Structure 1
Amino acid sequence: MKVYIKDYLFIRSSNFYYEPQFRQMELPSGASLNQEISLQKGRVKKTGLFLDQPIDSAVRIEILDIQAGEEKEIFVSNHPRLGKGWVESFPQSYFARDNKVHFRLTNTSPDTITISISRRPKFSDGFQLTLIPKSKDEEMIDDGVLRIYVQEEPLFLHDPKLQFRTAKQAFSQEKKFLAFWFIVLMVCAVKTLQYGRRREGDRTNLN
């Protein structure tokens, strides 16, 4: 099994959706916005939706795994209202394979709500946003995405099959990575010492 240092040390965050606002969309009662997102194998996932303005109406947030046309609920949360800023969601903690799932925001209030849609970056092909009306056909929102982030935590914290002994394997596989950062740290340390000595010499000359 191939193991990498990043599986042991790093929390990875994917933040693709900082493009300018694309449009304001009205979401009628019972309608949903459905956003495809990718979740990587073997990580605890934390996803967040950013709202430019509060929603003073009831909504439901779901994360769904869709296989062979069947929807499997991974996460669901009902909110009487949502404040401005980040709304975090915590789906199932471990996936045995890479997954493309659906992040769904549904208006459960009797009133229409307004949602900000960001422009989809060119490198996020496949992150399709869809409007699902209550009793009509789905409608693709071309060039638009919800502003979502996905955070991945280190694999070894959550996979019981990944034993600590594989840490040695991970380090041996990435010798070039370690050597590069060792050199960078040494150069920084030497430069810091040289700067400190120059400052000390300047103070001595002033005295």
Structure 2
Amino acid sequence: MSNTTRACVALLLLAAAPAFAQQAPAVAQQAPAVAQQVPAAGATPPAPVAWSSLAPEQQKVLSRFAAQWDSLPPARQQALAHGSDRWLGMSAEQRDKARERFSHWQSLPPEQRHALRSRWQRFQELPPNEQARVRENFHKFQQLPPAQRQMLREQWHKASPAERQQMIEHARERGEKGQMPRPPPQASRPSHRN
């Protein structure tokens, strides 16, 4: 995912999700790496997954973890087992895309990966209707012509925090009217009226 695409995702997340409104521009993508999971207060900790309980296909996919499997935290074992199920259910094309995303993920600096994990977790904590709105806005954004997407990205990067907040509020207003969120007009931009 390019920096501009990630910035675009940030704009859409900020426009759609109140939980992100006070944050700096964010990149919200599902991190391919498994984040450490902390059980909520009063929640039952995850149960360990025995290596022998994995299907042979899962063991093959997870073979690099075989020697250390018993020493992995249960949450990580469960996440890896779930991930191997998802992997086995993917088409060759989906696997290629996943490899590409994972390669990109590994190339990111640790602090950026940490920020992405945190933002993804906040997204996951949103109510389902907010998550759906974020996804819907992202889909709408992807349907825009490339030049318009680029213009929106540039406006977002050039905007001050106050201007970004104004963009978010304007996008929410447009979203309530069923229109694609876009930044408010700026005085410094030339008018296209005749």
Regarding TM over 0.5, the answer is no
Which is richer in strand? 1
Which is richer in helix? 2
Larger-gyration structure (1/2): 1
* TM-score tier (shorter): under 0.3
